[in-house]
Structures are given as structure tokens and as C-alpha cells.
Amino acid sequence: MTDEDEDEPVCGVTETIPSDPEWLAQFGFEPDFRSVTVTCGEPPHACAEGDVVHCGMILGDDGQTVTGTYFWGPGYRPTSLVPPP
């Protein structure tokens, strides 16, 4: 990522991953992901409201290491965790 990339506007919508253990298990989340707030880092969305898919990185305790990617929004089915590359 360059300094130029950091100046690009991002969506910025936030979502808190549910704390329900059954929900977490159903979608493959570890218990330590409970109540984590994720911020959408995609460019501002220009699609219809029902088609929006937000995407944000889940960061480790150091605030730098990506431990996963969370997708959500009315256009995304199902919600899932995608491991980092």
C-alpha cells in the first residue's frame, strides 16, 4: 500500500460480529471473534442499496496482522469468514 492508496476514500461502514456462540460456529468463526467491530475498507459503494457488499479486514491484537476478512451487507449471502492469503 502506498501513501496515495491511503488517501483514497473508503466506505467506512462498520459492523460488529455477533457474540452468539452458535452463530459464530455456524459460520466458522472462532470464539475470539465475538463482538469484533469491522470497518468496510472498500471504495464508497455506488450500487443499489440491496446489492451492497461490505468487506473489512479482521486484524489481530497488534492491529496490523490480518487474521481474516469479513463480508456483510444486504447483497451478501451467506456471511462467512475467508482466511487471509
For 1-59, the pLDDT digits (tens) are 444 556 789 999 999 888 888 877 777 777 777 788 899 999 998 888 788 899 998 88
Q: Taking Cα atoms as reference points, which of 62, 15, 59 lies closest to residue 37? A: 15
- Does the pLDDT value for residue 66 go beyond 90? no
User: What is the distance of C-alpha 2 from the center of its chain?
Assistant: 21
Strands across the sheet with 81-82, in order?
54-59, 66-72, 81-82
> Using CA atoms, how far apart are residues 15 and 81, in angstroms rounded to an integer?
14
- Does the pLDDT value for residue 70 go beyond 70? yes
- Does the pLDDT value for residue 80 go beyond 60? no
**Domain range spanning residue 48?**
3-82
Q: What is the phi-psi region of residue 18: left when phi exceeds 0, alpha when psi lies from -120 to 50, beta otherwise?
A: beta
Indicate the number of domains in the chain.
Answer: 1
A 10 A CB-CB count for 64 gives 7
